[in-house]
């Protein structure tokens, strides 16, 4: 549309607003646009939730032998619990319990403070460290293949998480978020996301926030499907897995 056409359109709308009928028509148009938008977004949310529930149920059935094998290997290594349960922050700041296969020794959380100086994310609030001494032998290959994340399918089935969405942070990290960084909490957290398929732990915190916000502002059902399909080669390559 040219500048002249735009000026003409704006003038027509301005003149229309000068009459009660014109204002009524404009208000009706705005109301109709809002209704259509809400219907479309609600439909997308319902489709996303239905897909999450169906796909997760099927995956849990298919992967049950792998779950049993991983559980046996974890038990054989040190006899500790199979699952690691941690409080995470979900949509709008709601806390929930997230499940993972345990990939670290039992005293890992207590040793975190002494390792903070070795954090390879020099900016932001996340902690990532290659060759983390807290990781068990089984945990190393679990993390490389992202198998430690598989129990989060239970969280997806419960509705706490989605297959695709920003990764859920821990409360310690959220407490240090700026107002802009809290935009990550505007969507249901997921197992995989844009930065998971684009470099994983190699992407710094500000890059993760940027990609999460980009996803939230442009998410679609088919966009989620594309991210899921790209997750498979990203996991197999092992790039950025700490």
Q: Give the pair of three-digit tokens for residue 77.
A: 């290594």
- In this predicted structure, what is the pLDDT of residue 60? 95
Domain count, the chain: 1
10: Cβ contacts below 8 Å, ≥ 6 apart = none
pLDDT grade, residue 14 (50/70/90)?
A: low
**Cβ proximity of 6 and 13 under 8 Å:** no
Q: Sort 215 into a burial class: Cβ within 10 Å, 0-12 / 13-18 / 19+.
A: buried
Position 1 in a domain? no
pLDDT at 65: 96
* pTM more than 0.85: no
51-94 pLDDT tens trace: 999 999 999 999 999 999 999 999 999 899 999 999 999 999 99
pLDDT tens digit sequence for 44-60? 677 888 899 999 999 99
pLDDT of residue 17: 59
In a domain, 53, yes or no: yes
At residue 204, the pLDDT reads 82
At residue 22, the pLDDT reads 60
Residue 192 is assigned to a structural domain of this protein:
yes
Residue 11 backbone class (left: φ over 0; alpha: ψ -120 to 50; beta: rest): alpha
Asked if the structure places residue 9 within a domain, the reply is: no
Q: Is residue 7 part of a domain?
A: no
Region 105-128 average pLDDT? 64
Close Cβ partners of 191 (under 8 Å, ≥ 6 residues apart): 149, 152, 153, 156, 161, 162, 163, 164
87-96, 118-127, 133-142: the lowest-pLDDT one: 118-127
Which pLDDT band, with edges at 50, 70 and 90, does 42 fall under? low
Distance in angstroms (rounded) separating the CA atoms of residues 58 and 20: 57
Round to whole Å and give the CA distance between 179 and 205: 15
- Domain extent at residue 62: 20-237
Position 10 in a domain: no
Asked whether the predicted pLDDT for residue 191 surpasses 70, the reply is yes
Paired sense of beta strands 162-164 and 95-101, if any: unpaired
C-alpha–C-alpha distance, residues 204 and 123, integer Å: 7
3-class DSSP state of 4: helix
**Neighbour count for residue 5 (Cβ, 10 Å):** 9
pLDDT in tens, 233-242: 888 776 655 5
Q: Is residue 107 part of a domain?
A: yes
Q: Judge whether 98 lies within some domain.
A: yes
First CA to last CA distance, the chain: 50
């Amino acid at each position: 549309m040219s500048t002249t056409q735009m000026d003409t359109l704006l003038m027509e709308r301005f003149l229309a607003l000068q009459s009660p009928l014109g204002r009524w028509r404009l208000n009706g148009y705005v109301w109709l646009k809002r209704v259509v938008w809400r219907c479309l977004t609600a439909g997308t949310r319902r489709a996303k939730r239905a897909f999450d529930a169906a796909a997760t149920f099927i995956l849990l059935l298919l992967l049950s032998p792998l779950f049993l094998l991983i559980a046996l290997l974890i038990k054989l290594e040190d006899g500790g619990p199979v699952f690691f349960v941690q409080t995470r922050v979900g949509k709008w700041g709601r806390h929930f319990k997230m499940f993972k296969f345990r990939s670290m020794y039992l005293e890992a959380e207590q040793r975190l403070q002494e390792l903070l100086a070795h954090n390879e994310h020099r900016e932001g609030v996340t902690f990532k460290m290659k060759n983390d001494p807290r990781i068990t032998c089984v945990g190393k290959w679990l993390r490389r293949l992202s198998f430690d994340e598989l129990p989060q399918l239970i969280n997806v089935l419960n509705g706490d998480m989605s297959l695709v969405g920003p990764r859920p942070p821990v409360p310690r990290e959220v407490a240090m978020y700026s107002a802009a960084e809290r935009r990550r909490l505007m969507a249901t957290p997921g197992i995989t996301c844009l930065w998971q398929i684009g470099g994983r732990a190699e992407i710094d915190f500000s890059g993760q926030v940027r990609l999460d916000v980009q996803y939230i502002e442009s998410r679609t059902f088919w966009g989620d499907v594309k991210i899921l399909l790209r997750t498979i080669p990203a996991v197999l390559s092992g790039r950025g897995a700490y």
